[in-house]
Structure 1
Amino acid sequence: MGKEPLWVPSGEVVEKANMTAFMRFVNEKYGRSFSSYRELYDWSVESISDFWAAVWDFCGIVASKPYEEVVDDPYRMPGAKWFQGARLNFAENLLRYRDDRVAIVFVGEQEQRRIITYRELYSLVGKISRALRELGVKAGDRVVGYMPNMIETVAFMLGATSIGAIWSSCAADMGPEAVYDRFGQVEPKVMITADGYFYKGKMFNTFANAVKLASRMPSLERVVVAKYSGADVDLSRLPNAVTFYEFVGKEDADPVFEQLPFDHPVYIMFSSGTTGKPKCMVQSAGGVLINHLKELKIHSDLRREDRIFYITTCSWMMWNWLVSSLGVGATVVLYDGNPLYPDPYAMWRMVDREGITIFGLSASYINALRKEGVSPGKECSLETLRQISQTGSALSADGFRYVYSDIKSDLHFNSISGGTDINGCFAIGSPIQPVYAGELQGPGLGMKVKAYDENGNPVWDREGELVCEAAAPSMPLYFWNDPEGKKYREAYFEYFPGKNVWRHGDYVIFHSDTGGITFLGRSDSVLKPSGVRIGTAEIYNQVENIPEIADSLAIGQQWEGDQRIILFVKMKEGYKLTDEVKAKIRKVLRENASPRHVPAKIIEVPDIPYTRNMKKVESAVTNIIHGRPVTNLEALVNPECLDYFKDHPELKS
């Protein structure tokens, strides 16, 4: 008996879908007769150049000079060259609309609300761009944001990228140590920050954090401070600081969009810092742009009349993804605060109030609603809502069913998965296909993904490692401060010897009956509680400075449809893990890293496993607590200590 779909798109939905329009476009352009997603997908990974050329045309990439070649060699990874010869500007593509439609709605937790139209956003970006140029910012310089999720954050990114400066951002709730580990590496020239933010009804003054951070970055020539929380700030404590309004000035100015190569850097995104400081992944303007427009317009069916919202902060790649919706001319809704405040219906009331049509959320948010017994569909009308997009971590089949039973029975549930690394998705939905419980609808167009077994052979209907067999435009250009490309190759391309594939670090099952993909969680040591990527090194850097702690090991445990952080600690001789020590660990992590770094459980163990070249072995412990076999025991210097982690009673509650 076959699987029963949770949702099947109506004939009208299929007919109106941008995916259908794209298929017709391809059929006409290349003389094809595709009528299904599977046919279109197979072509997209067999005719890679033709596919991306079609996306360029269909999405209307704005360029002052056309490309000479789509890609030189899509099987050279890393190092494939995309759309050589083209000249374009990232911000210009996101600001192609300059009318009186609403570009951004900002909603704050304390019921603050502001809007900005496309015309006003264009003007504001022009002022920021001029001010940055007057400061001497030029293409390739770094501009960073340590900010709440507000209009000024988006506008500053656009102002920076209009010049060709490279943008990075961290959310205001991150501690200065964690932010310094990121920004300190890229030596920014300008930083925008804010006076504070609100969370769970409390105001947090973050100005002291910004002062501490700026004092450690001699490269900073200007710090711009935006008003949001109303907290008192003394700008004299921060050399070269000005308010946002002083910085932009009063006189209007149109942005001057620097025309740059397709592979000019636009974003530096940060890895999770699993071993040492987070790696800085440099991504290209053209690559991010064309990939985002593919995923937003074609896969997510985004149109000008839509209002799209994602629960995110500007630390997460979903912020970058959401902001690219401006390139489709849609209205972007930004929210800053706790999505469950003052109650679990807060975001759903906002859906009704703002007329949101596409609502993006995480598996952990859905699981939080389920635990509370919340049924948004019963309390709110959700009349405008036609799609829920979900990412962050794997969602269970029951989580899928909950969406249709308790939120809305007739919508496209678009579960997506990819990574910060590619600023996009390897697997994603399609509005012309059915939705099955626990399955992403399929691989993304142009993404040649497979599941490999431990020997590097493709497998179906059983667990395997997610790999990508061909290059895609949004893969990183390089890692910052990695001149030989060694860290980049080690990160993705050396896991399967003799196979030049991108190994992503996810366990997946590719289903032969539906074409769908089930994600089972991480196969590497990156932690993803609530979908937020956290590197274990960020935890170790703080915990191992605590006098009582000799060593530690952090892993992610799959728990109730999400992942929770478990911290194992080895105590120094003469010390025990008391409640006081646990409280100290939590306080240090909360204040110096972020609340998300705080473990769900802290457990004392007599020893921590290490390889012979003295690397902690998070993967072995992760496999043990999930009942998976542990391979490469011979690589461990102390394999006997793994017995401590088996069937530990504290991991069962």
Structure 2
Amino acid sequence: MAAPIWTPGPAQLESSHLARFTRWAGERHDRTFADYDALWSWSVRNLEDFWADIAEFFGVRFRERADRVLADPSMPADPSMPGARWFAGATLNYAEQVLAPGRGTGPAVLGVGEDVPTVELTWPELRRQVAALARTLRAAGVGPGDRVVGYTPDVVEAVVAFLAAASIGATWASCGQEYPASAAADRLGQLDPVVLVAADGYRHGGRTHDRRHAVAALRAALPTLTAVVGVARLGVGLPDSIPWEAATAGEHELTIDPVPFDHPLWVLFSSGTTGAPKGIVHGHGGIVLEHLKNHALHLDIGPDETFLWFTSPSWTMWNMQVSGLLLGATIVCHDGSPGHPAAGDLWRVAAEEGVTVLGTSPAYLRACETASVRPAAEHDLSALRVLGSTGSVLPPDAYRWVRDQVGADVMVASMSGGTDVCGAFAGGAVTVPVWPGEISVRGLGIALAAFDEEFRPVVGQVGELVVTAPTPSMPLFFWNDADGARYRAAYFEQIPGVWRHGDWITVTERGSVVVHGRSDSTLNRNGIRMGSAEIYQALASLPEVVDSLVLGVEQPAGGYWMPLFVVLAPGAELDDALTERIRVTIRERASPRHVPDDIRVAPGVPRTRTGKKLEVPVKRILQGAGEGLVDPGAVVEPELLAWYAAQARR
């Protein structure tokens, strides 16, 4: 049996937020929790007690208290999904939780970028700018329930704009400027926004991207706008807009309007690669509770922490990074490339800013390994204690690389969750060992299980990722889905009353979780279901293969074709020797059934702008649907789709 790559020490076991909460909850309920698994089991069997405890332990600033923690309006004695109501009657505001007096001991927000000085926003200055911008928004006609949207890179101004909107009770949505104007309009245009906050451009990879024309096009596609607030990121500004400096000028009283617990806080969007992006609506109260729990109990973030997750305002991790402010932590906005001017530049930023919790992706970690980056040898990472990873499955070799090249004392916190809940179903926990290839724990208060084909929970074997009880950060609703039909179809159609997420997982005997890949892109050879992740993990050991895509393509006459497309490192060639090494590696590290029918060199792997491989859309292209199936605006390197369409024609 493999040994853990990280184990908690006395500080984590005694002094962490999780350790303190475990003792506190035990005393409160007159019980003892022997370990994390015991706490998790109690939390999912006693949802009302657990979430009430989260609110009490972290001092959630309710204006009005709830009549009841959890109830279904149609069946008050039997809360169900969808339809469960949390903290009915309670009022609060996310912005008030962030901007409470006495928050934080260091800066509130740091802004770093390429070839620009670091911006530092203190807590008093953050509060002042939020108050001033909220006044500007109100003057532009923004009120509770209205929408304020952003089209910016990951910058300090976006954080201020979101908090200002939230303080009014307006709903926020954002889209990174890597999206073209048409793709941004497909998302933000659904919301009929009142105010747009936009930047004149951004810097990435040593290049300057002037986005003034894109902002103009987006503005034209949003006829409900009454004002645009312009952020001069490139120093040129936007015509016919309120300059950021003017919009945030002066000293003004911060007025925060309390809203109901389930009042819409923000709208996140699905990838939208094969249809209109779904607007997923989350509420103030659910997000406050979920992010307090996740950030403090799972990542051990507190007021003395510095939190950086390399992300974009288009991705749910941006929203999760902002929520570091709920705990008084310093958050770092990163406008630039993590690999410029060198492959390991994100580690330089982490070292210079004293980052304690750093988030990235498996793709970036693999790129650093391929480029022979040695983060701990090249930078002072003594402050770093947690490395988060999400976006795709983190293979076992990556865990070992982090241990060897980043630090044996750094806890790897791989996460599985997503936009749907703006949180993690499974992740790390500072009191639990980390095992290579495994997500350490199921999230507290998350009734996660693996279901077999008979919809029975299984342990130690592959099943569908399901959640069998409600949790506060599940969507309130989908935008423009008045009867809830799209929402129910997305999660509850196959197993009524149970959330089906669409991933294959194994829940191990020790309570950890192994993710095998998307169940809607399952490889199903001769009736045997397999996850694509096992193949990707096997290939991670081959330096010649820098990326890959495996697909199971059902053919019209009942045939089944399982091709593997590989992207090769510079100088590598798919000759007979490498082809055989690939086959042997997959056979030995996964199974003989995982060995593909065909191996082809590809120029790249199409991905969403949040880094997910487009397995299902490319599969449909290979079945003859054509590249027009996929919205190119939602894809990195959309020209790759034409190459796969050509493969289908062959």
TM-score range, shorter chain: 0.7 to 0.9
Q: Distance in 2 between matches of 1:6 and 1:568?
A: 36
Other structure's SS at 2:276 match: coil
Contact 2:71 2:79 in 1 (8 A): no
C-alpha distance after superposition, 1:135-166 (max 9, x if no partner): 22111000000001111100000000000000
Q: Give the 5 Å matches for 1:196-595.
A: 196-230=201-235, 232-233=236-237, 235-236=239-240, 241-248=241-248, 250-273=249-272, 275-496=274-495, 499-512=496-509, 514-524=510-520, 564-565=613-614, 567=618, 592-593=633-634, 595=636
Paired residues, what number?
Answer: 562
Contact 1:557 1:563 in 2 (8 A): no
Other structure's SS at 1:64 match: coil
Q: Which residue of 2 aligns with 1:67?
A: 66
Contact 1:69 1:84 in 2 (8 A): yes
Shift in Å, 1:558: 9.6
Shift in Å, 1:373: 1.8
Q: Which residue of 2 aligns with 1:102?
A: 107
Shift in Å, 1:315: 0.6
C-alpha distance after superposition, 1:218-258 (max 9, x if no partner): 1111111101122x45614xxxx22112223x321122111
Q: Which residue of 2 aligns with 1:134?
A: 139
Matched, 1:151 2:156: yes
Shift in Å, 1:111: 3.8
Q: Distance in 2 between matches of 1:596 and 1:359?
A: 27
Shift in Å, 1:559: 8.2
Shift in Å, 1:79: 0.9
Q: Distance in 1 between matches of 2:97 and 2:456?
A: 40
Contact 2:140 2:195 in 1 (8 A): no
| Distance verdict in 2 for CA 1:141–1:525, change over 3 Å | farther
| Distance verdict in 2 for CA 1:37–1:165, change over 3 Å | same
Contact 2:306 2:331 in 1 (8 A): yes
Q: Distance in 1 between matches of 2:359 and 2:367?
A: 15
Shift in Å, 1:603: 2.6
Q: Which amino acid aligns with 1:109?
A: E
Shift in Å, 1:275: 4.6
Q: Which residue of 2 aligns with 1:78?
A: 82
Q: Please, which moves more after superposition, 369-378 or 277-286? A: 369-378
Q: Which residue of 1 aligns with 2:551?
A: none
Q: Distance in 1 between matches of 2:613 and 2:32?
A: 47
Other structure's SS at 1:24 match: helix
C-alpha distance after superposition, 1:414-434 (max 9, x if no partner): 111101010001001100011
Other structure's SS at 2:2 match: coil
Shift in Å, 1:453: 1.8
Q: Distance in 1 between matches of 2:631 and 2:80?
A: 41
Contact 1:274 1:525 in 2 (8 A): no
C-alpha distance after superposition, 1:417-465 (max 9, x if no partner): 1010100010011000110000001110000011112232222222211
| Distance verdict in 2 for CA 1:426–1:557, change over 3 Å | farther
Q: Distance in 2 between matches of 1:164 and 1:597?
A: 37
Q: Which amino acid aligns with 1:271?
A: S
Contact 1:565 1:599 in 2 (8 A): no
Matched, 1:599 2:603: no
Q: Which residue of 1 aligns with 2:581?
A: none
Q: Distance in 1 between matches of 2:204 and 2:122?
A: 27
C-alpha distance after superposition, 1:185-204 (max 9, x if no partner): 11111000001000110100
Shift in Å, 1:12: 2.5
Q: Give the 5 Å matches for 1:174-189.
A: 174-189=179-194
Q: Distance in 2 between matches of 1:178 and 1:192?
A: 17
Q: Distance in 2 between matches of 1:594 and 1:478?
A: 26
Q: Distance in 2 between matches of 1:457 and 1:217?
A: 47
Q: Which amino acid aligns with 1:65?
A: E
C-alpha distance after superposition, 1:556-598 (max 9, x if no partner): 9798999644747979x9xxx9xxxx9xx9xx977x4453555
Q: Distance in 2 between matches of 1:105 and 1:446?
A: 32
| Distance verdict in 2 for CA 1:382–1:260, change over 3 Å | same
Shift in Å, 1:606: 8.6
Q: Which amino acid aligns with 2:244?
A: F
Matched, 1:192 2:197: yes
Q: Distance in 1 between matches of 2:455 and 2:12?
A: 39
Q: Which amino acid aligns with 1:602?
A: W
Q: Distance in 1 between matches of 2:565 and 2:266?
A: 31
Q: Which residue of 1 aligns with 2:125?
A: 120
C-alpha distance after superposition, 1:340-372 (max 9, x if no partner): 110022111222211111111111111111111
Q: Distance in 1 between matches of 2:473 and 2:252?
A: 31
Q: Distance in 2 between matches of 1:569 and 1:468?
A: 28
Q: Which structure 2 segments of 5+ residues have no match?
A: 73-77, 523-531, 537-562, 569-604, 606-610
Other structure's SS at 1:3 match: coil
TM-score by length of 2: 0.82
Shift in Å, 1:404: 0.4
Q: Distance in 1 between matches of 2:468 and 2:8?
A: 31
| Distance verdict in 2 for CA 1:234–1:381, change over 3 Å | closer
| Distance verdict in 2 for CA 1:284–1:559, change over 3 Å | farther
Q: Which structure 1 segments of 5+ residues have no match?
A: 531-554, 609-643, 645-653
C-alpha distance after superposition, 1:102-127 (max 9, x if no partner): 10110012243110001100010000
Q: Distance in 2 between matches of 1:606 and 1:346?
A: 36
Other structure's SS at 1:203 match: strand
Contact 1:569 1:602 in 2 (8 A): no
Q: Please, which moves more after superposition, 321-330 or 91-100? A: 91-100
Q: Which amino acid aligns with 1:450?
A: A
Q: Distance in 1 between matches of 2:636 and 2:337?
A: 12
TM-score by length of 1: 0.81
Contact 1:149 1:336 in 2 (8 A): yes
Contact 1:75 1:469 in 2 (8 A): no
Percent of aligned pairs with the same amino acid: 36
Other structure's SS at 1:422 match: coil
Q: Distance in 2 between matches of 1:354 and 1:300?
A: 18
Q: Please, which moves more after superposition, 375-384 or 162-171? A: 375-384
Q: Distance in 2 between matches of 1:504 and 1:114?
A: 39
Q: Distance in 2 between matches of 1:97 and 1:509?
A: 44
Q: Which residue of 1 aligns with 2:550?
A: none
Q: Which residue of 2 aligns with 1:23?
A: 22
Other structure's SS at 2:643 match: strand
Contact 2:272 2:634 in 1 (8 A): no
Q: Distance in 2 between matches of 1:9 and 1:172?
A: 40
| Distance verdict in 2 for CA 1:279–1:593, change over 3 Å | closer
Q: Which residue of 2 aligns with 1:540?
A: none
Contact 2:350 2:381 in 1 (8 A): yes
| Distance verdict in 2 for CA 1:89–1:558, change over 3 Å | farther
Contact 2:388 2:413 in 1 (8 A): yes
Q: Which amino acid aligns with 2:197?
A: I
Matched, 1:93 2:97: yes
Shift in Å, 1:63: 1.2
Other structure's SS at 1:446 match: coil
Q: Which amino acid aligns with 1:218?
A: P
Q: Distance in 2 between matches of 1:275 and 1:61?
A: 40
Contact 2:264 2:282 in 1 (8 A): yes
